[in-house]
Structure 1
Amino acid sequence: MEQVTTKRASKNGQPEGRIAPEPKIIREPEIYIVGRQTMDPGAVDRFLDDQGLTWETDTEVGGEQLRKTNREYIQNLVSMKHGSVLEHATWDFIITGVSRSFSHELVRHRAGWGYSQLSQRYVDEATANFVEPEVIARDERMHALWLKAVRAAHQAYLDLVEGLMEAMPNIENKTERRKRVREAARSVLPNATETMIFCSANARALRHFIELRGAEGAEAEIRRVALKLLRLMQQEAPTLFGDYEIVRLENGAEVARTAWAKV
């Protein structure tokens, strides 16, 4: 994306400060599965030997839908609401293209979840991206108003970073000074600022998230993420998530539904 000049004129005509680049606008999140639970065959064998037991499985991939026995066993657990068994299956995700507003909502889900989020203290937001709500993006006048506000906030951030770096000469350690500067300057950045977040979650926690955040009353951005996550997990582990369907409502919104809620 083309960026504007990096300096602006001061009152005396001399170059002064950085000018914020034209905002990169994001309207679609991305979810990456970066980790899956694995078993240690050697440890399992030692356990079986010690206990005088034998064991076999009908699947080599956790959650994969294979023979009738595997599918029906999982479906019975779900239909009987024996959800604690689902807590053994875990995945790791990286979610990008989402706003700080979204992440504030996401981290309210504690049971069965773990998070590590991009830090605005350690990461310079000079080239930050911004997530535009769909309801604003589709209205030309509202989009222009939103974009103006984002530009102003981003420019204020850059001005604060520059000014505070000069105002804190007593902090000799440059890394520590940058942290102090950014933690103060970030206060003017909008909720629309893009973030990236690493998540770990088990199957039961994922189902709970999809049911709550994939519902009609959920906030628009987190509902979009929930439905994208559902589609991803229906490919990854169809036996665990195949009971859900995505329904399009009369108003055009998509929602997730299942006959076996609150497992």
Structure 2
Amino acid sequence: MKVTLIASTHMDWVVLPLEEPYSNEFLDAFGGVTNRMGNTTEQWMKQDEDDSDADVLAEFAGRACYQSFHKPNPSTAANDDYIANIIFQGHESVLEHASATFYVIGVSRALTHELIRHRHLSYSEMSQRFVDLENTTPVFPPAIDQADAEEWVTAENAYSSALEDYKYLVELLEAKGFTRKQAREAARAVMPNATETRIVVTGNMRAWRDVIKKRFHVAADAEIREFAGEVLSQLRTIAPNTFQDFPEEPFA
């Protein structure tokens, strides 16, 4: 399994429009940029260098609701404290503005069949109608231990048999005059859940929190639990404050 973060939210302070009656308050609180109206400010919200764009965007969205850029409450002045309070209050809609996209390879169709149940994520998965499955590598569940020869050989033999049937069906159907696409879309019916797939998946931070709560759990399928743990690890690098309440080990 390889999970690669390929895109995430970036804040563009330069294009922010500053308009009356709030521009003076905004200018006092935001900083370090000149926007398209020519307004130069100091450090925005005295932002800590370690605060990520995703975390800061969530705070910006929350403060925009009340125009509280001057941070009247000292207990929520810091970004991590502000987001902690948002999470505690259950006002997670502001977390939806930031997003992250992953390219995931070396996972099974069993995993993606479970993953796509999360309707608030967006998906682009490798097509079995177009891609030749002969070149894919089986992805077996963690319970099938490679060190156990009996388990591993049994699983490999089952997959090899399915793959041979797949190749034979493709040849038969093409010989009957079906197009390559039509032959593959029919032959894929014999391929098992262990068939490797690849997928691009995007979600906002609120959606990712929901996925990880459900899948980074001791009761979750072992493969998708591993996936959720890897996603969480990478999300912590781009939105650490948004996931500050999540454990290092799977939920129990």
> C-alpha distance in 2, partners of 1:222/1:179?
30
Is the contact between residue 52 and residue 238 of structure 2 (CA under 8 Å) also seen in structure 1?
Answer: no
Q: Which structure has more helix as a fraction of its residues?
A: 2
Which residue of structure 1 aligns with residue 131 of structure 2? 123
Which residue of structure 2 aligns with residue 72 of structure 1? 81
Is the contact between residue 63 and residue 239 of structure 1 (CA under 8 Å) also seen in structure 2?
Answer: no
**Shift in Å at residue 167 of structure 1?**
0.8
Equivalent of 2:165, from 156, 175, 184? Answer: 156
Which residue of structure 2 aligns with residue 140 of structure 1? 149
Which residue of structure 1 aligns with residue 3 of structure 2? 31
Q: Secondary structure at 2:202's aligned position in 1?
A: strand
The residue correspondences of 1:48-197 to structure 2 (distance < 5 A) are: 48-49=18-19, 53=23, 54-55=26-27, 56=30, 57=44, 58=47, 61-63=52-54, 69-111=78-120, 113-137=121-145, 138-168=147-177, 177-197=179-199
**Shift in Å at residue 181 of structure 1?**
0.7
**Shift in Å at residue 42 of structure 1?**
4.8
Is the contact between residue 9 and residue 54 of structure 2 (CA under 8 Å) also seen in structure 1?
Answer: no
**Shift in Å at residue 64 of structure 1?**
5.5
Equivalent of 1:199, from 201, 213, 229? Answer: 201
Is the contact between residue 210 and residue 256 of structure 1 (CA under 8 Å) also seen in structure 2?
Answer: no
Q: Secondary structure at 2:153's aligned position in 1?
A: helix
Q: Secondary structure at 2:119's aligned position in 1?
A: coil
Q: Secondary structure at 1:132's aligned position in 2?
A: coil
**Shift in Å at residue 114 of structure 1?**
0.5
Which residue of structure 2 aligns with residue 15 of structure 1? none
RMSD of aligned C-alpha atoms? 2.1
- Give structure 2 stretches of 5+ with no counterpart: 31-43, 57-75
Which residue of structure 2 aligns with residue 256 of structure 1? 251
> C-alpha distance in 2, partners of 1:52/1:81?
27
Q: Secondary structure at 1:123's aligned position in 2?
A: coil
TM-score by length of 2: 0.77
Note the alpha carbon deviations across 1:144-176, whole angstroms, 9 max, x for none.
1111101101111111111111111xx6xxxxx
TM-score by length of 1: 0.74
Matched residue type, 2:100: W
Q: Which structure has more strand as a fraction of its residues?
A: 1
> C-alpha distance in 2, partners of 1:118/1:64?
32
The residue correspondences of 1:39-50 to structure 2 (distance < 5 A) are: 39-45=11-17, 48-49=18-19
Is the contact between residue 203 and residue 240 of structure 1 (CA under 8 Å) also seen in structure 2?
Answer: yes
Note the alpha carbon deviations across 1:195-243, whole angstroms, 9 max, x for none.
0100110111111111101111111111111111111112222111122
